[in-house]
Structure 1
Amino acid sequence: MKKILLSFAALSLLLAGVPIQAPAAAKNDGGAGAAAATLKMTFPRLEFDAVHPTPVEGIYEVVSGERIIYFVPRSQHLIYGEIWDAQGQSLTRARQAQMMADRIKDLPLEKALKIGAGKNEVIEITDPDCPFCRKASEFLSQRDDITRYIFFYPLTRIHPEAEAKVRYILSSENPEDAYEDVMRGRYDGRPLPDFQDNKQLEIHQEIVTGLGVRGTPKFWVNGTYLSGADLQAMEQLLDAGPKR
């Protein structure tokens, strides 16, 4: 609760003295169009996907990949943080969760590595050399009530061996066995078996990039988005079962 109060106080200080009158233009979209134009002029190097109004008048939500930041057009300030309501709920986290849930509605699951046939659906974005990805994979492999759809996104700058491992997994005659071997560290620092690359990694990277994801691990557990290997939250969602 202390963290919530501090975050709210910090946001209040940032907003102090900022006029809250909405822009006159683009009333039909809550001023988001005018705010986006101002944002482009003020921060030309900032890459963003969309701008939306927020419940706080004069502050606009800026979507950049999976991240949400805020922009105040009147004062031309960016705010990196969260907006909390009077009930102690993070509106930022709720918006991010909804935004990321919406992005998987048309996801081509047939392109993923599928493991299991349980009632719970888990979509994963993973890097085989990411220690948090391995930790989560070990947890998920111990349950028999999951259908896993795995998309690979090797972070080659920090895990130089990851790309070759992914290509090996996706090109194997039995990708599931290859995946388990790699995630258990069988080929860490050792040569991979010979394989003919089927170029499936490029398809996975295109899909992941389209989701706005830039890191690993990421999960959608029965449609609910989780960033990172939060095993406790994952277990709660799995035990609750699929949404009806």
Structure 2
Amino acid sequence: MSQHNLNPQSPFFHEERHATLAPYVGQLITICGAGTLGANLGETLARMGFTRLRVIDKDRIEARNLSGQPYSRAEVGAPKARALANLLYRAVQTRVEPQAIELTASNASQLLAGSVLVIDAFDNAPSRAIVSQTTRDAGLPCLHIGFSPDGLYGNGIWEPNYQIPQYIPGDPCDYPLTRPLALALTSLAARAITDYLRHGQTHHFELTWSDLKIHYHPQI
């Protein structure tokens, strides 16, 4: 889009000035997980102008989620996927396809079908393994994002380089800086997503919170 064709009344005016995403915003992106990373990433993509999102999550909102996830107290008890769909439609009229069910080995192919890109933001190894295997089998591009239980490290790894992480006890939701870390990671993920869609490039990234060191590098 040329500069003189920009609409200053568009809610995405600033994004359009920097780099148009118009050819890509209508393509289906599926986000697996609507927790701290998935929900914040979904909100970021919607506010960037992406209009077709599918969100898969079986969980319901708990009061403890409110410190790191973009939900309200009034939504406690509601399915996360549906609450996120309502939130993003009210905010910028992005139409999210909510799938408030558990992703399993038997339904994963159907749930991920039609996606131009899959984002794995699940918080458990079994679900991550299913997403990894399903996207590999189907030849779907997939970016896995996650952070450590101590809330001090996070990364994004593209298939086929992804390896299922070992279980480490702990709950990052108990860490007071979880939301700032999550927002930094989802910003890096959004950059990686747009680089993939616009240029066909896949970039891994990692962030260490203690020294705010960021590595963003092409997949080899």
Give the TM-score normalised by the residue count of structure 2.
0.31
Give the TM-score normalised by the residue count of structure 1.
0.28
